[in-house]
Amino acid sequence: MPNTLRLMAVHAHPDDESSKGAATLARYVTEGVEVLVVTCTGGERGDILNPHLADADRLLADLGAERRREMAAAQKILGVEHAWLGFVDSGMPDSGPLPPGCFAALPVPEAAGPLVALMRAFRPHVVTTYDETGGYPHPDHLMSHRVSVHAFETAADPDRYPAAGPPWQPLKLYYSRTLSRARASALRYATRVAGRPPVSIWSEGAEQPDRPEFTTRVACADWFDVRDAALKAHATQIDPEGFWFSVPNDVQRQAWPTEDYELARTLVPTPPAEDDLFAGLRSPVADHHVHEHDRRVSQQNS
């Protein structure tokens, strides 16, 4: 296989990396994969969502700085690399017109430029992001989808973004499906069968409309505790007694031990049902393909 497999996960705000696919990231870090989390905005226009947090007024006065500290703590827990794209949070969908200069107000080619540069520098084989609905209709989630697709499709073109570094082509692009209705329903049923109190789970799964069947289910139950610790590190955004933790992990491990994805683009042959984001990149034939891909890119850049 390539000397080191590389995975890039593109998210809108600090905390999204921990609520959408964090156990997958922690698993791959354990396996020796290089993992880079990219956060598009600073989350400055968020709010304090943890009712148990002391000194909330002081933290809210400079929420961007606090969220940077939280992201650093979550990064350490997950063991990933991290990069900020540096864009300004666009605010919630119901907060009125987009503020001038915010992430979602920018033209997609302009907003994608820093991500193209990161792709060319980090050289991921696999990229994950949100689908075209954003998972839910926050302007920054929708924009994260657009810039991720644009960067995936242009990072290898030497005529696009010529100042952004030597071209690089990621081989697979996935959409996160962690907050699916199917998973929410399964966890709710399993909780009832286990005799636990009824639970509330991310608005009955309404954050992510029904999609085609998952293409890829990554077994990562052994890292659910790591995921939860990273999520709790985002203390301004996460209530430690809230719905994210309403289903005990022992129940989750039995009922739904995977995090799930939709394969959106691939440049390598893959099986119809995957259990690995790097499916198609680990076999001897795929190893040769990826080595040749890396060699050609190196020759083009020399």
The pLDDT score that the predictor gives to residue 287 is 54
The pLDDT score that the predictor gives to residue 114 is 98
**Between residues 300 and 71, which one has the greater pLDDT?**
71
The pLDDT score that the predictor gives to residue 273 is 93
Sheet containing strand 6-11, edge to edge, reads: 81-87, 34-41, 6-11, 126-129, 172-176, 258-266, 216-219
Q: Summarize the annotated binding site as residue ranges.
A: 13, 16, 141
The pLDDT score that the predictor gives to residue 284 is 56
Confidence band, pLDDT 50/70/90 cuts, at residue 42: very high
pLDDT (tens digit per residue) in 141-170: 999 999 999 999 999 999 999 999 999 999
| DSSP H stretches of helix in the chain | 16-19, 22-30, 56-61, 63-78, 108-122, 139-154, 181-193, 202-205, 224-233, 249-255, 284-301
pLDDT (tens digit per residue) in 46-94: 999 999 998 888 999 999 999 999 999 999 999 999 999 999 999 987 8
Dihedral of the CA atoms 68, 117, 115, 8 (nearest 10)?
Answer: -80
Give the angle 92-95-99 at the CA atoms, nearest 5°. Answer: 90
What is the extent of the structural domain holding 50?
6-301
DSSP string, 35-57: EEEEEEE--TT-----TT-TTHH
Q: Among 14-18, 168-172, 245-249, which is the least confidently predicted range?
A: 245-249
Which residues, including other chains, have CB under 8 Å from residue 98's CB and lie 6 or more apart? 90, 91, 104, 105, 139
Q: Summarize the annotated binding site for Zn(2+) as residue ranges.
A: 13, 16, 141
The pLDDT score that the predictor gives to residue 204 is 44
The pLDDT score that the predictor gives to residue 184 is 87
pLDDT (tens digit per residue) in 96-112: 889 999 999 999 999 99
Contact 220, 259 (CB under 8 A): yes
Percent of the chain at pLDDT > 90 equals 74
Cα 44 to Cα 59, 63, 125: the distances in Å are: 11, 6, 31
Q: Is 256 domain-assigned?
A: yes
The pLDDT score that the predictor gives to residue 54 is 85
Query: Looking at the 3D structure of the chain, how many domains does it have?
Result: 1
Q: Is 37 domain-assigned?
A: yes
The pLDDT score that the predictor gives to residue 206 is 45
Mean of all residue pLDDT scores within the chain: 90
pLDDT (tens digit per residue) in 192-234: 998 988 777 764 444 455 566 789 999 999 999 999 999 999 9
The pLDDT score that the predictor gives to residue 145 is 98
Cα 32 to Cα 78, 105, 197, 279: the distances in Å are: 13, 38, 39, 16
The pTM (predicted TM-score) of the whole model is 0.91
Residue 137 sits in a domain whose CATH number is 3.40.50.10320
> Does the pLDDT value for residue 30 go beyond 90?
yes
> Does the pLDDT value for residue 24 go beyond 90?
yes
Q: Is 1 domain-assigned?
A: no
The pLDDT score that the predictor gives to residue 92 is 86
Percent of the chain at pLDDT > 70 equals 89
